[in-house]
Structure formats: C-alpha cells, structure tokens
Amino acid sequence: MSAALSDPAATARRALSLLDLTDLSDACTASAVDALCRDARESGVAAVCVWPQYVSQCGRGLAGSPVRIATVVNFPAGGEDVERTLDDAREAVADGAHEIDLVLPYRAFLRGDEGVARDMVEAVRDICARTVLKVILETGALESPERIAAAGRLALSAGADFLKTSTGKSPVSATPQAAEALLGVLRGHEGRPAGLKVSGGLRTLADAATYLDLADKLMGPGWVGPKTFRLGASSLFSVLRDAAGAGA
C-alpha cells in the first residue's frame, strides 16, 4: 500500500490543501464559477483555476480568503503568438490573477526551435513580475523523460516558478514517469526555488497519493507544500472532500 494511503483521510486533507480547484470546461458558466469559489472557500484548497474571463468574478467571490486565483494563457493549443499571449497575460494580471498557467509552445520545442519556446516564457515572465508563473509543458506530447526534462530545464531557466505537466486536454496527461522526470530537474536546480504542478487525469485518492509519495521520496520530507507542489484537477475535488470528511 502507498504510504500516503495508510491514512486515507489525512492524505485527502493534505491533497486538498495542495489542490488547484479547476473549471476549464467548455461549458463553464458564471454560476459554475460562483459554486467553485464557494467550494474553494469552504474546503481550504490552494487555488482556483479558471478561464481568464472569470478572474474578476473570482476576485469578488474569494475576497478575504487565502485561496489564490490562477488562470491560463496560450491555452490549450500552446501556439506561438507571443503578442496575443502577452495581451492575455496583462489583462489577467490587471483583473487580479495571482498565478498564470502558460502553455509552452511545445510543438516549437519538439521541432528544435527552443528559442521560440524560451522567448515566450521570458516575455510572460516580464509581465508576471509579481505573479506566480506556471509553465505547462504538455508532457504527454513530449513523451520521453529526456525531452520532458529538457523542456523543464528550459522553462526554469526562462523564469518559471512551477513546472506543470499537462493541460488536461491532450490524449495523454500526467503520468508518474513525467512527474519523476520533472522532480529530478527540480532536485538538480540551483536557481531560485521552484515547484511542480501535476495536472490532467487525476481522479482518485490513489492518484493523489501516488504523486505525493513520489514527491516525498524524491524531494524529502517537508518539501511538499502549496508553494512548491500543486495538484490540478476538477473531478478529484469531491473525492478528496468526501474522504477528508470521512476521517473527521
């Protein structure tokens, strides 16, 4: 049994504190965002993650709460239009976003145009001087641990505060192998502190426990916390809430 599952309720409470409670569905509505903010306030998650048009609404719904507001840019396609991405990032920051989740131009990276990928991360970093920047690598498309690690190193050197596995919109999302590759990059990183966000395909308490165990094993006790480790999910929330309540 996973060490993290030896006490399911405690694991669920721990995972909730690290959760980016997410609604990036095509059917997302203002009323759904109100419900998301209510759930976030009541459960003590780390952040909500919503489409840019809902950032201001989250600011009102989460006023006075420690829950942070994250949004996405260049999402989910990971295109190469730097100016459009910068405009979106500026607007999101002006609307009150605390965190920006930027999709790396991963197709450019795959074809060897690392400069295109680096330029976008650096440009958004400049916009997000006081905003946490998470760079989504779309690890399912990168496939190999070597390419995943190389993309992670590029993102860190260009200013990422977090490496994030996936958009959740691709055929292959987060995997333990991808997370292990990125934790290895973080472990060897000698610059400012940075973290990992595991996102895409997390649906069960066992999923959350797998990644918590992996981070604890590779990074050591005490490393995992909201400033260094996040779980990005939508359907996982109710599972964690129910499991946490069962042990109350």
Q: Please, are residues 223 and 229 in contact by the beta-carbon 8 Å criterion?
A: yes
Q: Is 101 a catalytic residue?
A: yes
Q: In the chain, what is the straight-line distance between the N-terminal and C-terminal CA atoms, in Å? A: 22
Cα 200 to Cα 166: distance, rounded to the nearest angstrom: 6
Cα 113 to Cα 40: distance, rounded to the nearest angstrom: 39
Which pair of tokens denotes residue 17? Answer: 């504190």
Cα 178 to Cα 80: distance, rounded to the nearest angstrom: 24
Cα 68 to Cα 216: distance, rounded to the nearest angstrom: 24
Q: Which of 23, 88, 197, 207 is catalytic?
A: 197
Q: Please, where are the H alpha helices in 28-97? A: 30-43, 55-61, 82-95
Q: Is 197 a catalytic residue?
A: yes
Q: Which of 20, 23, 161, 164 is catalytic?
A: 164
Q: Which of 23, 101, 161, 207 is catalytic?
A: 101
Q: Give catalytic residues, as residue numbers.
A: 101, 164, 197
